[in-house]
Amino acid sequence: MTYDYHVVLGIVGIVLGVVGYWFYFSSIFRGDTKPHLFTWLVYFIVDIIVFAAQVLNNAGPGAWVTFTGLIGTFLVAVVSLRYGEKHITKTDWISFIAALFAIVLWRLTGDPLLSVVIAAVINFLAMAPTFRKAYAKPYEESLSVWLADTVRYMLAIIALATLSLTTALFPAALVIGDTLLILMILIRRRQSDRVPQL
């Protein structure tokens, strides 16, 4: 029996997502990680729209990864209401409002590629509060979900049944954003370890 590699990669992407979120939630409930509500709420909204667009554009198993993310982002957003970052800055509000505004623009455009470009911009705006928080408190952000996301969205690109700039740009933007966040957290942790503890 032979399997379509798109299906296999889609399943692997789902498994990575579940494992990544499992470790992330474990970290949240231990009190080690404090997710930023603004990031995860915008992610959830975007995932709904991207998943619908991928299904309508025959993304196939590549869309399964987005669906897993949709469920995960919703659950993290809900959990962050109680266990998340409580310090919300003016910059966080600006990023959040800009992301919501960009979502409206995204839905108003009739061009699929332009929509995906706007979605990628929204992703970076949504990450801004988490970047700010993780820069200041690098040990309050778990790497597990970001590492799993990086790998699973790389697999999602390969698993796309229809590979085009329109279907691949958004997951590629997620890989870039997640990788930058991971690197920043690792650098900041190393820097903070060098600071003498009083």
**pTM of the predicted protein model:** 0.79
pLDDT tens-place string over residues 11-29: 888 888 899 899 999 999 9
CA distance 191 to 174: 26
| Burial label, 197 (beta-carbon count in 10 A; 0-12, 13-18, 19+) | exposed
CA distance 92 to 11: 35
pLDDT tens-place string over residues 28-87: 999 999 999 988 988 888 888 778 877 877 777 777 888 988 999 999 999 999 999 888
Indicate the domain borders of the chain.
5-191
CA distance 175 to 183: 12
Q: Which of 156, 177, 47 lies closest to 106 in space, CA to CA?
A: 47
